[in-house]
Amino acid sequence: MSLVLSPEEQAIAAGHDGAAMAMRIVAESARLLGAPRLIPIASTHIDGALYHGDSGTLFAERLVEGGAKVAVRSTLNVGALDLMGCSRIRLEEPQRGMARRMMEAYRKLGCEQSWTCAPYQAGHRPEQGSDVAWGESNAVVFCNSVLGARTNRYGDFLDIACAIVGRAPDYGLHRPENRRAWLVFDVSGLSASFLASEIAWPVLGSLYGREVGNAIGVVTGIANHPGEDALKAFGAAAASSGAVGLFHIAGVTPEAPDAETILSGHAPETVIRVTPQMAAKARAGLSTATDHASIDAVAIGSPHLSDDEFDLLERSIAGRRLAVPIYACTGRHALAALERNGRRKALEASGVVIVADTCVVVTPIMPQLSGGVLMTNSGKFAHYAPGNTGYAVLYASLADCVESAVLGKPVFTDIAA
């Protein structure tokens, strides 16, 4: 089936301005994907504003020079700089200047200066069933799975092109028939105490991603809603270890009141019964460090820390002084709440380094250390940190991360799966 553009879309594509360039990018992408048409979208979340090289900056500036503006609400994923001045970025010139130019170009295009990988925590929550074009893997999977909006995993530069024309290719997860589950991921064999713990969700997400790849599955065996932070952690880990863009949890996520409904009455093609041994192996696999004698840093907030997670961090530190720093990555929406009542100052006085607008895994913030060891409670950090930062990783709960930062050496609490 060939792509058919409306007369309006054809007219835009025939122009010579920034909108014309964006329309041609979206239309050609649709042709390559086999989409029959373009569909209107309600919003976008832009991943392409993170500096990876000069070409991205020059592309954005060309759109600005062509007079382009976003046509729908468009929030921005993390950038390469902490514009709030919370942390010191070790990015040198000329890269630093190009990164700043890139961030400024996206502001001129009309994007919201959110600079967060968790826009759903900053008030960007599209309605269930609405079509959007989101980038950034954790944001995509949360949008699809927890909010029930419809998006594919939009890559850099296609995301801003969709934002400018207010349209996206009609394919993939935009289509209801492609959103049903084909397999069951059964966790009923795991202990209730493990499933109720914070540590379980990145572990299960990492296992889920490796087991299912990009297939659509439904998780069964969850008795109670685990909370949005747990679902955020599960989705982020699943999208990092696999190519997950949508998951369902029976009785929890909006499109899966039960497993039978989201399986559309079909028998599952595969049933993955998760055993305690599988969960333990997945948990161990999140750690890459072989020397457990000491740690050099703790990094949390991938995806960005929520208000509730900052509350838990404060309670866990309880006014103590840290022996090694905790890098706490978040968006400016959460930072604004911390500014009230002296909470930010108290955290920083204890040794917490707050990182806003960006993340320690995507831009150089932590010191360069040969053989450095980083502890984290994030499945996504655990996946990307060794390659992006050079630090080996130890995975633990937030409570254990804090105790380890206080003592300067690893502390692990065993919660059996």
Chain-wide mean pLDDT for the chain?
96
- List 220's β-bridge partners, or say none: 186
The pLDDT assigned to 131 comes to 98
Domains of the chain by start residue, with CATH: 7-175 (3.30.499), 180-285 (no CATH), 297-407 (3.30.499.10)
Edge-to-edge strand ranges of the sheet holding 270-273: 248-249, 217-220, 183-186, 270-273
For residue 120, pLDDT over 90 is answered with yes
Given a cut of 90, is residue 291 above it in pLDDT?
Answer: no
CA atoms within a 13 Å half-sphere pointing along the CA-CB vector of 146? 24
| Residue-level pLDDT at 152 | 98
pLDDT tier, 292 (very low <50, low <70, confident <90, very high otherwise): confident
Tell me the HSE value of 125 on the side-chain side, using a 13 A CA sphere: 7
Q: Which residues of 133-167 are buried (b: 16+ CB within 10 A; e: fewer)?
A: bbbbbbbbbbbbbbbbbbbbbbebbbbbbbbbbbb
- Do you know the residue count of the chain? 417
According to the model, what pLDDT value does residue 332 have?
A: 95
Q: Tokens in use for 46?
A: 């832009």
pLDDT digits (tens, 9 = 90+) for 121-143: 999 999 999 999 999 999 999 99
pLDDT confidence of residue 153: 96
Mind listing the pLDDT tens digit for each residue in 164-198?
999 999 999 999 999 999 999 999 999 999 999 99
**Residues whose CB is less than 8 angstroms from the CB of residue 262 and which lie 6 or more positions away in sequence, other chains included:** 180, 181, 218, 248, 250, 255, 256
DSSP state of 330: E
Read off the amino acid at residue 131: D
Give the whole-angstrom CA distance, residue 158 versus residue 47.
10
Residues 6+ apart with CB under 8 A from 134: 43, 44, 45, 140, 143, 151, 154, 159
Cα–Cα distance for residue pair 118/109, rounded to 1 Å: 21
Find the mean pLDDT for residues 286-303.
93
Sign of the Cα pseudo-torsion (193, 195, 198, 202, in order): positive
Average pLDDT over residues 105-114: 98
pLDDT value for 43: 98
Q: Which pLDDT score, from 0 to 100, does residue 248 have?
A: 98
Q: What pairing do the DSSP bridges indicate for beta strands 326-330 and 352-356? A: parallel
Q: Give the pLDDT band (50/70/90) at residue 209.
A: very high
Q: What pLDDT score was predicted for residue 341?
A: 81
- pLDDT at residue 414 is higher than 80: no
pLDDT at 26 over 90: yes
The one-letter amino acid at 386: P
> What tens digit of pLDDT does each residue of 371-411 get?
899 999 999 999 999 999 999 999 999 999 999 999 999 99
Contacts 24+ apart (CB under 8 A), 147-154: 147/120, 147/254, 148/253, 148/254, 148/255, 149/42, 150/174, 150/179, 151/245, 152/245, 153/243, 153/245, 154/44, 154/47
Q: Say yes or no to pLDDT of 46 above 80.
A: yes
pLDDT at 415: 80
pLDDT digits (tens, 9 = 90+) for 321-360: 999 999 999 999 999 999 988 899 999 999 999 999 999 9
State yes or no: pLDDT of 148 exceeds 80.
Answer: yes
Place of tokens 């493990």: 194
Sequence-ordered alpha helix ranges (H) in 226-304: 228-241, 259-262, 276-285
Distances (CA, A) of 243 to 51, 197, 235, 268, 292: 23, 25, 10, 20, 31
pLDDT digits 0-9 by tens, 245-272:
999 999 999 999 999 999 999 999 999 9
Beta bridge partners of 267: none
